[in-house]
């Protein structure tokens, strides 16, 4: 009753034929507008607080997802665009949620257990699976690092920069980023390189691509002319293979732990990962648009040759693509080298945080620099079997990816450690389906790398 | 000095093996099945790699 009595005058003042004539109704009107203003201000402050909080949490997800478009990834996308035009953009869009669902699990696992993926495997499954994962990761990361250096040297080679100079420049930049002894500084520097990865977007707008055809390629699932061939299957496998790499799982979980994200930050971490997945797909699609528009029907074997061809069309465009390739290789290299260092630090019990100074965590940083040195040196060896190394990456990845993914799902279903953050039924259905498809496809991709004639 | 480094490494590896000797995850049927499948999968892959290596040498 009392509620009805107090509410009545406000309604009256709003519907009165001469509002404001009555002094009481004027006061009520002013109160109502003040009330509305204060509510709006409160909402504005609340949204601002959420955005600020998100900016603090954001980082690992965006970095890992954008770094997923590494030198190998950019090569795959440019080759796909040149070969099949815009017909497979819809397929790339589908890969965004796939990457998100897998990486989101690492956010929960890291925030709840406070363990990196390597340590979590040792702890849960014992030393046999632990050593298998760690040593496989180290070998795979080293080989992948070499491919990143190949990408970087090829990109700057377009400008006439010698390979030695590129390796030195990249190594010094990678060293400078970590040597500050602050995770925050490293993360923000990495974010700058993530923004640079978007260079493919303005490059695509410069060439005025056929928007209608692109929209058709984005929205209507279709097969390219010629139908489903073995070659198309190989390209689809390659694109799926670049979506999830083992280092991504180890990197993001360790980054979440190093950043000290808590259970309350999981939602923010998920949003961070989703935004990253969105940008991965956008960059991939724009790479396809670039080569699909300018180099249709051509066979592209590496992104650097695509950049060189673009140079012939427009110097500015070629420069954009070369810078993008260098950036992609660099982002991949910084994340991969850290993933290995974190994994070793966790298992061996070394101090292994980017918040530690070099003196405080000497082994962690020594391993980091040793990894860079070893990968950079291989690229400089004359007549090094770089093509064989690239093939080897695909094969070794096949041995580690299924194990890392299966461990991830088993760990996320462990109620004792995950509590209410364990996988729900829907998450299990989605994740088990994704992981099964990823394992089958990556295995076929690895086998096709071993036996190239199998798909011909 | 190098010998000491290797000795330290070996003792560190031993202590890691002791620390993680027992898997901490509850060994449900699902976990056992997954680990067995992984073992079989890896044996299959190693078999393929060895086969490829031998055929390459020939």
Position A17 pLDDT exceeds 60: no
Contact B42/A130, CB-based, under 8 Å?
no
Domain residue ranges of chain A, discontinuous segments joined by +: 1-57, 58-455
What is the C-alpha separation between A394 and A240, in angstroms, rounded? Answer: 12
Please tell me the CATH superfamily of domain A58-455, with its number: Amino acid/polyamine transporter I (1.20.1740.10)
Q: Chain A contact for B21, CB < 8 A?
A: yes
Q: What is the pLDDT of residues A105-157, one digit of tens each?
A: 999 999 999 999 999 999 999 999 999 999 988 988 998 899 899 889 988 98
Contact B25/A122, CB-based, under 8 Å?
no
Question: The complex's ipTM?
Answer: 0.89
Q: Chain B contact for A135, CB < 8 A?
A: no
Nearest CB to B26 within list A409, A416, A443: A416
User: Which residue in chain A has the smallest CA separation from B30?
Assistant: A410
Indicate yes or no: pTM above 0.95: no
Q: Chain B contact for A388, CB < 8 A?
A: no
Q: Are A96 and A278 in contact (CB under 8 A)?
A: yes
> SS3 of A230, please?
helix
Q: What is the pLDDT of residues A239-288, one digit of tens each?
A: 887 888 889 999 999 999 999 888 988 998 999 999 999 999 999 999 99
Q: Chain B contact for A428, CB < 8 A?
A: no
**Cβ atoms within 10 Å of A429's Cβ, excluding its own:** 11
Using CA atoms, how far residue A12 sits from A5, A6, A35, A36, A455, in Å, is: 12, 11, 17, 18, 79
User: Residue A159: CB partners within 8 Å, gap ≥ 6?
Assistant: A319, A322
R_g of chain A, CA atoms, integer Å: 26
Q: Are A106 and A253 in contact (CB under 8 A)?
A: yes
Q: Is A425 exposed, middle or buried (0-12, 13-18, 19+ CB in 10 A)?
A: exposed
Q: What is the pLDDT of residues B5-37, one digit of tens each?
A: 788 888 888 999 999 888 888 888 989 999 999
Q: Chain B contact for A416, CB < 8 A?
A: yes
Task: Return the pLDDT at A128.
Answer: 92
User: Which residue in chain B has the smallest CA separation from A350?
Assistant: B12
Cα within 13 Å of Cα(A126), Cβ side: 8
């Amino acid at each position: 009753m009392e509620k009805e009595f107090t509410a009545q005058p406000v309604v009256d003042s709003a519907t009165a034929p001469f509002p404001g004539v009555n002094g009481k109704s004027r006061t009520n009107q002013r109160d109502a507008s003040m009330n509305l203003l204060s509510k709006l201000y409160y909402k504005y402050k609340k949204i601002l607080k959420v955005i600020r909080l998100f900016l603090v949490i954001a980082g690992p997800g965006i970095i890992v997802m954008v770094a997923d478009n590494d030198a190998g990834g950019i090569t795959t996308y440019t080759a796909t665009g040149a070969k099949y035009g815009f017909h497979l953009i819809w397929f790339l869009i589908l890969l965004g949620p796939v990457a998100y669902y897998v990486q989101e699990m690492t956010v929960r696992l890291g925030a709840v257990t406070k363990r990196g993926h390597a340590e979590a495997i040792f702890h849960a499954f014992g030393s046999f699976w632990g050593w298998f994962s760690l040593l496989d990761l180290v070998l795979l990361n080293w080989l992948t690092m070499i491919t990143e250096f190949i990408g970087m040297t090829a990109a700057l080679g377009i400008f006439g920069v010698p390979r030695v100079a590129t390796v030195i420049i990249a190594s010094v930049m990678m060293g400078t980023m970590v040597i500050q002894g602050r995770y925050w500084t490293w993360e923000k520097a990495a974010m700058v390189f993530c923004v640079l990865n978007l260079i493919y977007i303005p490059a695509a707008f410069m060439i005025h691509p056929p928007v209608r055809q692109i929209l058709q390629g984005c929205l209507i699932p279709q097969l390219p002319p010629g139908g489903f061939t073995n070659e198309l299957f190989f390209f689809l496998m390659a694109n799926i293979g670049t979506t999830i790499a083992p280092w991504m799982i180890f990197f993001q979980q360790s980054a979440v732990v190093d950043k000290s994200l808590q259970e309350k930050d999981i939602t923010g971490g998920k949003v961070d990962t989703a935004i990253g997945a969105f940008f991965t797909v956008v960059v991939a699609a724009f790479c396809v648009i670039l080569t699909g528009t300018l180099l249709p029907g051509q066979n592209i074997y590496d992104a650097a040759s695509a950049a060189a061809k673009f140079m012939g069309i427009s110097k500015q465009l070629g420069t954009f693509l070369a810078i993008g390739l260098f950036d992609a290789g660099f982002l991949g290299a910084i994340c991969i080298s850290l993933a290995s260092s974190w994994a070793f630090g966790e298992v061996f019990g070394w101090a292994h945080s980017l918040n530690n100074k070099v003196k405080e965590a000497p082994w962690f940083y020594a391993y980091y620099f040793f990894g860079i040195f070893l990968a950079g040196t291989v690229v400089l060896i004359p007549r090094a079997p770089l093509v064989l190394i690239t093939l080897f990456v695909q094969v070794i990845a096949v041995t580690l990816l299924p194990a890392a993914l299966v461990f991830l799902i088993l760990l996320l279903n462990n109620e004792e450690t995950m509590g209410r953050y364990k996988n729900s039924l829907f998450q299990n259905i989605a994740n088990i389906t994704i992981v099964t498809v990823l394992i089958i496809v990556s295995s076929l991709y690895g086998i096709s790398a071993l036996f190239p004639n199998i798909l011909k | 000095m190098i010998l000491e480094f290797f000795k330290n490494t070996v003792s560190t590896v031993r202590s890691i093996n002791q620390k993680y000797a027992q898997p901490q995850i509850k060994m449900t049927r699902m976990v056992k099945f997954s680990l067995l499948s992984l073992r079989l999968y890896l044996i299959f892959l190693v078999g393929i790699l060895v086969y490829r290596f031998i055929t390459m040498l020939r």
